[in-house]
Structure 1
Amino acid sequence: MSRNLVERVLWKLSVERSSKNRFREDPRVFLAQFRLSEEEVECLLSFKVGALQCMGVNPMLTMGFWQELAPDRSMRLYKERLGAIDQQRAAFSAALKG
């Protein structure tokens, strides 16, 4: 796993309009230009933000990726993907530490 590479991909997807558009058109083709592992590709395609954070990816990058490109951009769902429980869903956090 190359945390730095995953973070670079997420940064591009958060700030570069052309990258966002290419990802929306065909995410696999967009991700193929990077030397990502199959696990990393699956995490990105499935928006597994909790798994990405467990790999050491910066929480602000996972949140930006979610807000820009997730099919359901709900922050409630984002926090659930991080493992939030009831009282944590009401609070804001880019990362949830258990």
Structure 2
Amino acid sequence: MSRNVLERVLWQLSVERAAKERFRADAGKFLARFDLSEEERQMVIEFDVSALQRLGVNPMLTMGFWQELSPTRDMALYKERLGASDEQRAAFSAALKG
């Protein structure tokens, strides 16, 4: 697991315009320059925020990444992807603790 690398990737994708543009143009090519496993690359490409958080990635980074680049940017869907209950979906949280 390369949590630190994943966090660096998500940070770049959340704040750097050029990184966002390269990711949108070709996510696989953008991610190829980072030392990530194929599974980790897929987590980013598929916006699998739940899996990223299970690996220990900072929840604020997963949320920022989602808000900046996910196809829908829908926070209800973000919470659903984290496995939120109806009650948890009604409240704000970048992470869900079980």
- Answer whether TM exceeds 0.5 for this pair: yes
Structure 1 gaps, min length 5: none
Q: 1:18 and 1:26 mapped to 2: Cα distance?
A: 12
Structure 1 position 69, deviation (Å): 0.2
Q: 1:31 and 1:59 mapped to 2: Cα distance?
A: 20
Structure 1 position 72, deviation (Å): 1.0
User: TM-score, normalised to structure 2's length?
Assistant: 0.98
User: TM-score, normalised to structure 1's length?
Assistant: 0.98
- Dislocated runs of 4+, deviation >2 Å: none
Q: 2:74 and 2:90 mapped to 1: Cα distance?
A: 13
Structure 2 gaps, min length 5: none
Alignment match, 2:13 = 13
| 2:21 paired with 1:24 | no
Identity over aligned residues, as a percent? 71
Structure 2 residue identity aligned to 1:53? Q
Alignment match, 1:90 = 90
Q: 1:13 and 1:42 mapped to 2: Cα distance?
A: 15
Structure 1 position 2, deviation (Å): 0.8
| 2:59 paired with 1:59 | yes
Q: 1:67 and 1:45 mapped to 2: Cα distance?
A: 14
1:38-64, Cα deviation, whole Å (9 max, x unpaired)? 110010010000100000000000000
Structure 1 residue identity aligned to 2:11? W
Q: How many residues align?
A: 98
**Map 1:31-50 → 2, pairs under 5 A:** 31-50=31-50
Structure 2 residue identity aligned to 1:4? N
